[in-house]
Amino acid sequence: TLDLKKPEAIDVITKLLKSCDIVLENFRPGTMTRLNFDYSIARQIKPDIIWCSITGFGQTGPLANRQAYDQIIQGLCGVMSLTGTKETSPMRVGYQVCDTLSAITGAFAIAAALYRRKVSGEGEFIDLSMLDASIASMPSWPMSNYLNAGLKPTPMGNDNGASAPSGTFKTKEGMLNIVANDQKQFEALCDAIDAPHIKENPNFIDRPTRVRHRDELRDQIEERLKTRTAREWDKILARYNVPAGLILSLPEILEHEHVAARGIIKSFDEEAIGIPFQVHKLGFNLAQHPADVTLPPPRLGEQTEELLLSLGYSQQSIADLKGKKVI
């Protein structure tokens, strides 16, 4: 922890920078310049430094200096206009999706810059906009359909605008996601629910025709699904190789046997952090060098003294910095 408004804090960062590969900051444009430590200064100290600046709207453009939070970006990028139904939209996605997409995009950009530096020896300034990252992540069919065909996307609830049957279906108890996109999957679905009449109906003969008659198709499928529960149908559809899945709450999926088998959740005991603590691990595995979360999240400033000692600060100088409220 450093109070960047104190000159002594900039001295600490300057020393730390010499052993760093990456600077990551998410202040509004111009903030680091006002603090007398921006990319132009950093690259004089370490020419091959990679500096990633995450802002709401980027370093340029008419919105560059606006404040941004996840919900603001969700509203601007178009995702809220597509979420929900015609009656309920616009609706926020249920978690900080734009924050998350920006973080993932930042990791990707940094990895790309690190590889480029290995090849060229050059550092990089990454101008990462939450709005840009969110727009770039938008689903292909609404984005491409609008850019290339002029088709304005509309909210469709849980339905897939490009396919049918593809969405959420009611059963005797609970709801089920079914995504039978191609002809083979559609026919397998009809077989699984014992509905040859649906497969033979000319209104459902191929994918484009099914999309045009999606409401009629939904009604007929749900008529069959109402004979069993969602959990029963989930097992049956899996046997017929029909893409389908239960709709689970967060606690339900975290307690699912598959999540347990994959080891996605990691627990730290009380000795490691002072209280029992759980985190989710990374969303991928490496066969040769397994990726893991080896330490619990540090408390605010927990490693400040350790880092300062590694930079050559004495215990007395660290005490002086504390006294001046630099750290």
What are the b/e assignments for 244-278, b being 16+ CB within 10 Å? beeeeeeeeeeeeeeeeeeebeeebeeeeeeeeee
Nearest to 57 by CA among 137, 135, 128: 128
Pairing of strands 166-170, 175-179: antiparallel
The stretch 60-79 carries a mean pLDDT of 96
**What is the model's pLDDT at position 272?**
63
pLDDT of residue 139 exceeding 80, the answer is: no
Tens of pLDDT, residue by residue over 106-117, are 999 999 999 999
Q: Where are the beta strands (DSSP E) in 130-255?
A: 166-170, 175-179, 244-246
Q: How confident is the model at residue 297 (pLDDT cuts 50, 70, 90)?
A: confident
Q: Under a CB-based contact definition with an 8 Å cutoff, are residues 57 and 63 in contact?
A: yes
CB 228 within 8 A of CB 172: yes
Taking the C-alpha atoms of residue 301 and residue 316, their distance in angstroms, rounded to an integer, is 18
Here the tokens at position 159 are: 């339905």
Indicate if the pLDDT at residue 3 is higher than 70: yes
Q: In whole angstroms, what is the distance from residue 211 CA to residue 187 CA? A: 15
Question: Measured between alpha carbons, how far is 45 from 35 in angstroms, rounded to an integer?
Answer: 16
